[in-house]
Amino acid sequence: MFRKLPEAESDSVTVVVDGAAVRVPASFTAAAAVLFNGSIARTTPVSGSPRAPYCMMGVCFDCLMEIDGVPNRQGCLVPVAEGMRINPQRGARKAEP
């Protein structure tokens, strides 16, 4: 469904998306890495339906995910980094105390 546009050679990094190591361009965000891998960003609190990043500019919150152990991160606003761990956020958000 999604294809990366051809571009000049760029640096790449390896991130772990839902347990799978994925090599992506260093210019990607966490949300782009999730789409590139064909994964989901989160599940809905009520039905558990899978959701994927949608607007890719920080407006819709469909890209909430757990990044490096921190929940409730908007993946479209977080640039990837070598070794980053990206996991779907399952169910309702948890409030931080």
In this prediction, residues 72-83 reach a mean pLDDT of 96
Residues in a beta bridge with 14: 23
Residue linked to tokens 């996991």: 87
CATH number of 12-88: 3.10.20.740
Average pLDDT over residues 74-90: 95
Per residue in 12-61, pLDDT tens? Answer: 999 999 999 999 999 999 999 999 998 988 888 888 889 889 999 999 88
- Residue 4 has a pLDDT of 66
> What are the structural domain ranges in the chain?
12-88
Q: Could you tell me the pTM of the whole model?
A: 0.82
- Residue 13 to residue 22: CA distance in whole angstroms: 8
> Torsion-angle region of residue 49: left (phi > 0), alpha (psi -120 to 50) or beta?
beta
* 64-67 vs 85-88, strand pairing mode: antiparallel
